Amino acid sequence: MSASKKPLRPEDFPVNAEGRKIKKQDGMPIADAEDPAVAEDVAERLNDDEARREEDKWSA
């Protein structure tokens, strides 16, 4: 996992899975998963969650 404990910011999205690594938009790794399928699932969930958060911000 990244040495930085800073939260992800909107500009870090979408995150991508590359093998077992999950990376921010700028290519910085943020996490390692047990296998590529888990990394892909986590990246998809993070992206979906951020999309909902952005929608909620604009609909309020």
The pLDDT of residue 32 is: 95
Check residue 6 and report its DSSP letter: P
Q: Which amino acid is at 15?
A: V
Does residue 59 or residue 31 have the better pLDDT? 31
Residue 37's nearest CA partner among 53, 19, 50, 49 is: 19
Domain ranges in the chain?
Answer: 10-59
- The answer, yes or no, to whether residue 3 has pLDDT greater than 60, is no
The pLDDT of residue 60 is: 65
Strand partners, 23: 16, 29
